[in-house]
Structure 1
């Protein structure tokens, strides 16, 4: 190694003028590129930021053209965030533009239908000429010959732009949690695609309309071939991610779905055959799939890594007739296959809000992601894997490569490369853009004549004193406008916080076949681990995101992609003030025996803007802030309680059932109105949906010897604390 370094230094000395000229050229090129990018970023200045009124909304709600609160973003900042691709590719773009709904001839992208899923309809603007909803964008990917076309993809804004309505007035919240029902959207999109495929009249209209666009398709046969391919791909995704937990509106098991998508692309045919032939029918004796059937199902798939297209073929073949040599599985059989290769994503959580994310030391609900460099880049690359980035990953014999080295494959004969549609340059720019976003303040100024929206300052002052006593130790108060603010995640172990454990448990316990990453080494805070044949998926995800971020964008020329990659790497380190640090809080530390122990916890953070982020708790199981300050009714809890006047009245407990989907603000309890509204019914009876825990102020908190160290709040104190939290 020392000889290599000496040779390199000698080369630099001999060619210092050329090296200096190259560095000057690179710096000039990057400077010009950055300047052009900044100018372009501000070209879309629509004063309404593309927002439109909805006289008849999808769930019976109507609202005027939304207004924006002061979050330190102007119209161009918002529109660039909404319409900047990150490399997601859900389906061909022309298909989404012309696809009809399943049961009628109205376009699937019709605004009323889009609003039904609680995505946010938009009008045409410069960056959005086809009036796509907030968070949907055209992604142009020039990959291999099969994947080179325009796609519809998700942007960050789809899950992280909110809206709050009050008496017909709508307020858009940049960086706020979406109310979206992504599962319903994807299931009904799949149904519409298959109906179009199987209904000749629908297909004729669809194929004609797609071809008339004059973009990626010229013949009906081409349309049909791709429609069948993408319909099956979406069906595969929906089958793999089917859950017994109804996510409903406003939440998603993003981690579970990212984990599954990684496993879908990493597993090899050899490991898949091993799993398929080990499955049994309900009697636990009779094989579900014979070795011959498994070979037939996996025919043509790479033994090391199945890759982008073969898995959809596998799912289709699993359902084909036994007379043709296939297993002919129904939905129950397919779910047994799912359980053998994947993990049920049964821990939905609320979409997190994004203000202060670039100022936070640890992110994700369980603090999985360290925000120190280059953490945000890997975190965002993992997110795009989950939201349909095209993964043109292949396995082949090759020499040394940086992605193979970084992902731990340096000693492997066969190496997986990580060509994909993931746009690292835009991911870096988006993360940097979020540094300027501020939390929204309570919008009392929009309703000067409405007493319900005015903050009771005297009551809020009492609430502030209570906040200091009950909340401040975990939820630090920060200056929302400070450019140098630092948000510290205070971690609480599952034992201490006692909220629903599913998300934290799954992040650690989910396992999958590691394929080519088997027996590779990986560093953790507790030491170096070796990936086993069935490894924790968090390890496999870490390996592949390292490979992705060390792979330059493939659909740019070699000079451009090299310079862009160098820019991304430099900016991920130098445009990030967060340093590596020890987690704060009360949690179980990582050990050599349990290297992911600290992930069995949940994060508390500053509550600025909390009024616009309901429902509450990490899994969205409590509808309002006032309800969060009530206890969960447990066995033995009384039905009648004594009030401050000494009178008996019904005790107050957190609701065990409420409707989610409405955007209507409850200004008193602070959250969204659920009574009398349309949406999905949230019930709190199962793991994944529990509304237990976080009892601070809800019950007496006692020491081990039974001494009360934090008393339960009275009703008056709860109202005072809620009033103060409006001001954060």
Structure 2
């Protein structure tokens, strides 16, 4: 018996010893990988950071090779941010290389065309050998190559002044994403329909010798991807024109989640409820059955949903042949109109902020940043290979989404790269706001700025704290203002709470909120569906990695995101309605104020980009421009904003909900401070003093 126990203890000791050895090996491999990753990250150090000069640019803007201000990033820091994939897959990589413009043989990715949509052209560098624009990158998923967006596409800005261009890392893009995607759809349709264009496209793709080997394969894929892009544009069609420099990102994220969660019975029910203006059903039961013939019972992927919309619009083979208006009426039963565009937020200090997003929806503590960024990639074309299957053992994603006891469970496999999302968030910790470049934009009048500092302390400081831009330990506290209190356009905040849709397999699962647990119903607020779906993606290992590494990486990403995050889980600051058991999302009917360091480089202003300059923002609402041009990067250093007249850009009008320029009238003596006090209106001299001080932030 003694010998038996000795053998058992010896075996346990041997096992523990080897487990310790295994842990040491894993830690050493992780350290080596980290060191090699840092070395690799530093290989792309082009002194121009890939930036190029543009002649004959859009709106007559010609500029020399852009320069960079000191924002705490080196050349390789910028280039790594521009070219690190997050798992976005907009289009097959080969297609983007070969696709021509709709009415030209010039490539769609030609720099002049890219500049027309106000993305930022680049030259080839080590991480970007094809010279894609800032924020476009090659993504590889399940053995196939794609082109997709990186964070930098929407969060890299540029300011031009008298021929000198200043690239702003982390600044809001001037991009017209809707115009870009519409142009992409038109170019793909033209490639399908024009024989010579189609022939050139097929030949150019074949010459790449990459993912396609036959013409038939290329044309089948072209049909599929054209349908997918067309579906996306139809689902997100809005009566509000976005123009340049803004996007309804949340509306589009919501719609992508709904598209991939609704099941076939729920879709059929929704289609039955689509009616004409006089109340008649648009589709008969027989038409619905025909349109949905062969469509998956549970998760309906892009390819199938694209086919559904194609069948709805087709007049062939007995399909209903809906016109655009009726097609949108059917759309509205499944999705929500993405009609609340907002400016692209600037990213400096985001890693040091307690709450983020315009409505403060994202708590930045714990694994919050990982969830926030996962939701973002869902919106910008992450491949969502979500499938439904019979319960078959342990599933972390099922536990996180409340599906662990369901017979049928959704698996949230996707192309979303959580490892890179964690690395990108960490990378942003070292990004600093840009300082006003006096040698380019002019000296700051210090006497006026000193007077302006006093005004700022009285009128602005309670919401917009002043921080040290280079303080590693800085914390940026969001000050929330209820939409009824601040008075700015309410569409974005209201949509975030009010929009609903079919919950698919998440029906009757339970989700936690700050005021208690709730049941997700079949018709549920999309914020609930998105929250669960995001958890599911986080809990699903990377399909492109072998089984041991996929689980180790996923656990490390979640653990590291939690333990490396110094932001504490605190309640929101400001003036807003509290969440209640009957209204658990009340606090989201508000907008966030944050520090204004670097604000000079982020026009136009207010959350929806409805005010062209800081000077205009200090005026009473009726004196602010009711219409102005957007799209130019030419800077106005006096009013502090971009050129707003004198060129044929996007004409922004402020008449409709979603576009309104109301509210935030502190300088006009109308909007009360957080303590309820209404201060006197600023006079003209005080406005200019305040603007001069804001330039120093």
TM-score grouping bracket, smaller chain normalisation: over 0.9
Distance 2:552 2:26 in 1: 7
* Alignment partner of 1:394 is 2:387: yes
| TM-aligned CA distance change 1:703 to 1:547, over 3 Å | closer
Q: Which residue of 1 aligns with 2:5?
A: none
Distance 1:440 1:414 in 2: 51
Distance 2:76 2:695 in 1: 28
* Alignment partner of 1:715 is 2:684: yes
- Asked whether the 8 Å contact 2:666–2:672 carries over to 1, the reply is no
Query: Structure 1, residues 214-249: CA drift from partner, whole Å, max 9, x if none?
Result: 111111111110111000100000000000001000
**Which residue of the other structure, out of 165, 171, 174, is the alignment partner of 1:179?**
174
Q: Which residue of 1 aligns with 2:256?
A: 261
| TM-aligned CA distance change 1:329 to 1:12, over 3 Å | farther
| TM-aligned CA distance change 1:174 to 1:299, over 3 Å | same
The equivalences for 1:423-442 within 5 A come to: 423-442=417-436
**Which residue of the other structure, out of 149, 153, 162, is the alignment partner of 1:158?**
153
- Asked whether the 8 Å contact 2:515–2:584 carries over to 1, the reply is yes
- Asked whether the 8 Å contact 1:30–1:567 carries over to 2, the reply is no
TM-score of the two chains, using structure 2 as the length reference:
0.97
- Shift in Å at residue 407 of structure 1? 1.0
- Shift in Å at residue 12 of structure 1? 8.8
* Alignment partner of 1:354 is 2:347: yes
Q: Which residue of 1 aligns with 2:37?
A: 37
Q: Which residue of 1 aligns with 2:329?
A: 336
**Which residue of the other structure, out of 225, 228, 231, is the alignment partner of 1:236?**
231
Q: Which residue of 2 aligns with 1:193?
A: 188
Q: Which residue of 1 aligns with 2:374?
A: 381
User: Which structure 2 segments of 5+ residues have no match?
Assistant: 1-10
- Asked whether the 8 Å contact 1:85–1:155 carries over to 2, the reply is yes
- Shift in Å at residue 700 of structure 1? 4.4
- Asked whether the 8 Å contact 1:531–1:539 carries over to 2, the reply is yes
| TM-aligned CA distance change 1:13 to 1:727, over 3 Å | farther
- Asked whether the 8 Å contact 1:58–1:114 carries over to 2, the reply is no
**Which residue of the other structure, out of 677, 685, 700, is the alignment partner of 2:647?**
677
Distance 2:106 2:328 in 1: 33
Distance 2:47 2:457 in 1: 40
- Shift in Å at residue 302 of structure 1? 2.3
Partner secondary structure for residue 710 of structure 1: coil
Q: Which residue of 2 aligns with 1:727?
A: 696
Distance 1:187 1:481 in 2: 41
Count residues with an aligned counterpart: 686
Q: Which residue of 2 aligns with 1:643?
A: none
Partner secondary structure for residue 491 of structure 1: strand
* Alignment partner of 1:584 is 2:554: no
TM-score of the two chains, using structure 1 as the length reference:
0.92
Q: Which residue of 2 aligns with 1:220?
A: 215
* Alignment partner of 1:487 is 2:471: no
Q: Which residue of 1 aligns with 2:509?
A: 520
Distance 2:208 2:12 in 1: 54
- Asked whether the 8 Å contact 2:605–2:612 carries over to 1, the reply is yes
Query: Structure 1, residues 467-510: CA drift from partner, whole Å, max 9, x if none?
Result: 00000000000000000000000000011101000000000000
Partner secondary structure for residue 60 of structure 2: coil
The equivalences for 1:280-291 within 5 A come to: 280-285=275-280, 287-291=281-285
**Which residue of the other structure, out of 582, 606, 622, is the alignment partner of 1:617?**
606
Distance 1:671 1:442 in 2: 13
Distance 1:350 1:295 in 2: 41
Distance 2:302 2:310 in 1: 14
Partner secondary structure for residue 37 of structure 1: helix
* Alignment partner of 1:311 is 2:280: no
Identify which range, 344-353 or 29-38, moves more after superposition.
Answer: 29-38
Q: Which residue of 2 aligns with 1:8?
A: none
**Which residue of the other structure, out of 660, 669, 678, is the alignment partner of 1:690?**
660
**Which residue of the other structure, out of 560, 566, 583, is the alignment partner of 1:571?**
560
User: Which structure 1 segments of 5+ residues have no match?
Assistant: 1-10, 143-147, 448-452, 634-652
**Which residue of the other structure, out of 163, 169, 176, is the alignment partner of 1:168?**
163
